[in-house]
Every structure is written in structure tokens, then in C-alpha cells.
């Protein structure tokens, strides 16, 4: 069975501090992982996916198969980063939808 775990419901950090949002997954095959961001009452937006290995808005995430993790990181938080962040695992190799974690509410304090 597929499962995505985001252990922190809420994470509060000060502006300029480093941010790390944790994500662990459970999947027997080769995982395809995503991070989505949802700003207040808006649609979910794709932030990044591990296949593309790109950095968006200063965020990066590295897939660690040994630890089954895909943590999201940013060296210096900005106030506009405040949002809900969802880690997601592609079902069936990515073509059959996504299994989402419960999400982490990131609050950046001034």
C-alpha cells in the first residue's frame, strides 16, 4: 500500500531562517514524488517534482530512497512562503493520480 506521512501539522519559523518540511513515503516500487503548495483558499499548485530536480522559489527536495524521504528545504524563509504544503506520491508510477500526505501548514513570522 502507498502512504505519505508528513509528521508536522504546523511549522512556524522566523523570516530568514531555514525551513525543512518533512515527508516520508511507503511504496514498494520506484516512487515518483511531488510537492504541492496551497496558498490561502486557492488551488493546489505544483511546486516541484523529484524527476525534474529543479528549484522553484528557492525550494529544493532530494529523494532519499534509503530513508524513504523527500524533505522540502529552503535556506532562507520569506513571508510569502506561508501556505499549506503537501507531499504527494504518484500512484501506479505517476499516471494514476496522487496519494497525498495530510499537509504541513507553514507560517513564516516577521
Residues lying near another protein in the complex (CB under 8 A) are found at 32, 34, 36, 42-46, 49, 86, 90-91, 93-103
Q: Which residues pair with 105 in a beta bridge?
A: 10, 84
- Listing DSSP states for 87-100 in one string gives EEEEGGGGTS-EEE
The answer to whether the beta carbons of residues 52 and 37 sit under 8 Å apart is no
CB of 76 to another protein, least distance (A): 26
Q: Smallest distance, Å, CB 106 to another protein? A: 16
CB of 79 to another protein, least distance (A): 23
CB nearer to another protein: pick between 21 and 90: 90
CA 63, 74, 18, 43 dihedral sign is: negative
Name the minimum Å distance from CB 17 to another protein: 26
C-beta of 18 vs 93, nearer to another protein: 93
Half-sphere exposure of 14 (CA within 13 A, CB side): 1
Question: H or E segment at 38?
Answer: strand 33-38
Choice between 75 and 93, CB closer to another protein: 93
Amino acid at each position: 500500500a502507498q502512504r505519505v506521512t508528513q509528521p508536522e501539522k504546523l511549522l512556524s519559523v522566523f523570516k530568514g531562517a531555514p525551513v525543512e518540511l518533512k515527508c516520508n513515503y511507503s511504496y514498494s516500487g520506484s516512487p515518483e514524488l511531488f510537492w504541492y503548495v496551497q496558498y490561502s483558499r486557492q488551488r493546489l499548485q505544483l511546486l516541484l517534482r523529484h524527476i525534474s530536480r529543479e528549484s522553484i522559489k528557492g525550494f529544493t527536495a532530494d529523494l532519499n530512497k534509503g530513508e524513504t524521504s523527500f524533505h522540502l528545504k529552503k535556506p532562507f524563509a520569506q513571508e510569502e512562503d506561508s501556505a499549506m504544503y503537501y507531499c504527494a506520491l504518484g500512484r501506479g508510477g505517476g499516471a494514476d493520480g496522487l496519494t497525498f500526505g495530510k499537509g504541513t501548514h507553514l507560517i513564516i513570522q516577521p
